[in-house]
């Protein structure tokens, strides 16, 4: 798979088919991180790698005439069969992907997209809108169905289409990838400021459709705050919404499309609110005596109104692993451990990253006020080195997962959110539920957590878990599904959101009605039926409620 093909620009970079990212980038597992994991998980046989030469594409269904922009190439179909959840990588690496789209469509413009939607609706062909395929909730995955499916890769609906610099509004094609968004805005001194960790491989349409949040959402807002208008196409109609700064003309239909995961229409373009490029930006780190102390500091900072762009608090285990991957190592090694212990910062200390952007004087002032706010908690400032390190590597961390699988260690992430008052209990409930799933050859199930995306009334918790990975694809997925079900049940029981920013997809859809109520579920069904009466648009996500974790 290549993307971002531009005849005038550099050659397209090649994406890995069976793992994260570009084929020319790697992030080997740091030896200290491996030692930390080996103290908890015994070694085992490596998980297999995908062997493209040995793989044979299953026969595709015969398709009616759906227009000229279709590819039936086997590897192209496989590359559009799954997203980027751990289960997807396990299926791809073990060559056990069960359902492939019959073709990949790349509509050349919005007219071609409209014709494709119309033809698919007439012939009962499922369309799976496909941005960067970085969904981690099964959002682009297929399942058994008598109807053939076509993945609709939106890469050709791409680029900056309109710029209203006076209003700070930029309209992008849905298939525009993160780096292309920022590259188009930079010459105008503008930025979108939306940096999900998948930034390099996810798209404007995917962000909107899956309700995404960038790592600097504290300053720039989530994608829902950034969408001023959009255009979407569905069998039931063409939806042309906004842009407007605010409107009281009934419910805000733009918001309906945020998080719609392709069920209500294919988003063709979106008008986004952009900001002046900041003159200065800084990320500093501090150590807090404990997770509990850090939570209280995070709450105070979130409610302080300080102009920050980032706050991230790691729990004790994540702080240990951050040190093991070298995030703050040098600074730590020059400080004596004994001195930190004397300061009350021994085992269990929690690493906090804080970021501010703006004019240099505003950034200085924000940190001055932060220091005063954190002083009573016993925080120890580590300065800018850790923050620089984190910024440099933040889009490389996902590459670790592939190297870990070579060492028989599976890793996955999940996230939720809750009001501040419920966060401590939610944190304990998810950790305990996961650790109760400890398996053979595991001294304990390593679970890391950080708090991020703070709001005045609450925040998101993001968990990373590791387990000893069986070399057999189905066995590995069964183990993952068991842990995922435990975590989902604990989140719902503790009153957390099923997802803060990964979305519902197919993995969380069985629990959606428990979160939004039967009435809310019925309302969403009715909307989907109006936009897409024959349910051809990504019908397995969001609403159908079947447990497809092991599909």
Q: Is 499 in the site for ligand FAD (CB under 6 A)?
A: no
Smallest separation (angstroms) from ligand FAD to the CB of 131? 2
Smallest separation (angstroms) from ligand FAD to the CB of 503? 6
Q: Is 107 in the site for ligand FAD (CB under 6 A)?
A: no
| Residue pair 116/66 in contact by the 8 Å Cβ criterion | yes
Residues 261-300, one symbol each (x = binds ligand FAD by CB under 6 A, - = not), give xx---xx---------------------------------
Q: Is 133 in the site for ligand FAD (CB under 6 A)?
A: yes
Spatial distance between the Cα atoms of 494 and 152, rounded to a whole number of angstroms: 37
Q: Is 134 in the site for ligand FAD (CB under 6 A)?
A: yes
Nearer to ligand FAD, 133 or 446 (CB): 133
Nearer to ligand FAD, 314 or 377 (CB): 314
Phi, psi of 539 (to 5 degrees): -70, -15
Q: Is 205 in the site for ligand FAD (CB under 6 A)?
A: yes
| Residue pair 140/187 in contact by the 8 Å Cβ criterion | no
Q: Which stretch binds ligand FAD (CB under 6 A): 52-60, 278-286, 295-303, 501-509?
A: 501-509
Q: Is 213 in the site for ligand FAD (CB under 6 A)?
A: yes
Size of the site for ligand FAD (CB under 6 A): 39
Phi, psi of 420 (to 5 degrees): -55, -40
Spatial distance between the Cα atoms of 426 and 449, rounded to a whole number of angstroms: 12
Q: Is 313 in the site for ligand FAD (CB under 6 A)?
A: no
Nearer to ligand FAD, 126 or 468 (CB): 126
Q: Is 203 in the site for ligand FAD (CB under 6 A)?
A: yes
Spatial distance between the Cα atoms of 488 and 497, rounded to a whole number of angstroms: 10
CA-wise closest residue to 412 among 481, 475, 464: 464
Q: Which residues contact 190 (CB under 8 A, 6 or more apart)?
A: 165, 168, 170, 274, 275, 276, 277
Q: Is 173 in the site for ligand FAD (CB under 6 A)?
A: no
For tokens 């029981």, the residue is: 493
Q: Is 538 in the site for ligand FAD (CB under 6 A)?
A: yes
Nearer to ligand FAD, 149 or 267 (CB): 267
Q: Is 130 in the site for ligand FAD (CB under 6 A)?
A: yes
Structure tokens at 298: 């995070």
Strand partners, 467: 410
CB-based closest residue to ligand FAD: 206
Q: Which stretch binds ligand FAD (CB under 6 A): 205-213, 338-346, 427-435, 527-535?
A: 205-213
Helices (H), 124-258: 178-185, 204-209, 217-220, 223-226, 253-257
Q: Is 171 in the site for ligand FAD (CB under 6 A)?
A: no
Q: Is 140 in the site for ligand FAD (CB under 6 A)?
A: yes
Q: What is the C-alpha R_g of the chain? A: 23
Smallest separation (angstroms) from ligand FAD to the CB of 204? 8
| Residue pair 138/505 in contact by the 8 Å Cβ criterion | yes
Neighbours of 65 (CB within 10 A): 8
Spatial distance between the Cα atoms of 430 and 449, rounded to a whole number of angstroms: 10
Q: Is 463 in the site for ligand FAD (CB under 6 A)?
A: no
For residue 329, cis peptide bond before it (omega within 30 degrees of 0): no
Site residues, ligand FAD (CB under 6 A): 20, 83-84, 128-136, 139-140, 154, 174, 196-198, 202-203, 205-207, 209-210, 212-213, 215, 261-262, 266-267, 398, 501-503, 538, 541
């Amino acid at each position: 798979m290549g993307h971002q093909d531009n005849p005038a620009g550099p050659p397209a970079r090649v994406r890995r088919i069976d793992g994260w990212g570009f084929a020319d980038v790697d992030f080997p597992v740091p030896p200290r991180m491996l030692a930390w994991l080996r103290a908890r998980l015994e070694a085992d046989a490596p998980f297999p790698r995908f062997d493209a030469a040995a793989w044979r594409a299953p026969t595709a269904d015969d398709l009616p005439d759906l227009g000229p922009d279709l590819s039936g190439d086997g590897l192209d179909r496989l590359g559009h069969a799954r997203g980027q959840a751990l289960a997807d990588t396990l299926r791809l690496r073990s060559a056990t992907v069960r359902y492939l789209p019959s073709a990949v469509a790349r509509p050349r413009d919005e007219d071609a997209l409209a014709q494709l939607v119309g033809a698919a609706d007439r012939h009962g062909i499922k369309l799976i809108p496909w941005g960067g395929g970085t969904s981690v909730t099964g959002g682009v995955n297929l399942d058994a169905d008598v109807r053939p499916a076509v993945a609709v890769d939106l890469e050709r609906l791409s680029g900056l289409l309109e710029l209203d610099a006076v209003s700070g509004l930029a309209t992008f094609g849905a298939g525009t990838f993160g780096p292309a968004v920022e590259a188009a805005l930079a010459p105008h001194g503008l930025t979108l400021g939306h940096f999900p960790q998948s930034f390099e491989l996810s798209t404007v349409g995917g962000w909107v459709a899956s309700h995404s949040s960038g790592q600097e959402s504290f300053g720039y807002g989530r994608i829902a705050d950034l969408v001023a208008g959009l255009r979407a196409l569905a069998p039931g109609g063409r939806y042309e919404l906004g842009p407007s700064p605010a409107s009281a003309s009934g419910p805000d239909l733009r918001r309906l499309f945020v998080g719609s995961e392709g069920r209500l229409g294919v988003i063709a373009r979106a008008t986004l609110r952009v900001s002046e490029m900041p003159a200065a930006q800084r990320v500093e780190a501090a150590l807090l005596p404990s997770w509990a102390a850090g939570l209280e500091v995070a709450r105070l900072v979130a409610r302080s109104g300080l102009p920050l762009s980032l706050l991230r608090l790691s729990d004790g285990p994540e702080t240990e692993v951050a040190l093991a991957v070298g995030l703050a190592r040098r600074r730590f090694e020059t400080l004596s451990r004994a001195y930190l212990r004397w300061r009350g910062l021994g085992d269990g200390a929690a690493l906090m990253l804080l970021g501010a952007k703006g004019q240099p004087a505003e950034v200085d002032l924000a940190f001055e006020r932060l220091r005063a706010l954190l002083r009573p908690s016993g925080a120890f400032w580590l300065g800018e080195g850790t923050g620089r390190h984190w910024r440099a590597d933040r889009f490389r961390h996902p590459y670790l997962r592939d190297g870990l699988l070579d060492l028989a260690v599976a890793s996955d992430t999940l996230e939720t959110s809750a009001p501040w008052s419920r966060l401590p209990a939610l944190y304990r409930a998810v950790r305990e539920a996961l650790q109760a799933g400890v398996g053979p050859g595991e001294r304990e199930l390593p679970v890391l957590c950080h708090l991020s995306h703070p709001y005045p009334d609450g925040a998101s918790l993001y968990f990373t878990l590791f387990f000893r990975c069986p070399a057999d694809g189905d066995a590995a997925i069964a183990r993952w599904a068991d842990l995922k079900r435990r975590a989902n049940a604990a989140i719902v029981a503790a009153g957390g959101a099923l997802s803060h920013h990964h979305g519902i997809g197919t993995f969380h859809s069985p629990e959606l009605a428990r979160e939004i109520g039967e009435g809310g579920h019925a309302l969403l069904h009715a909307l989907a039926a109006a936009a897409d009466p024959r349910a051809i648009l990504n019908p397995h996500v969001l609403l159908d409620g079947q447990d497809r974790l092991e599909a």
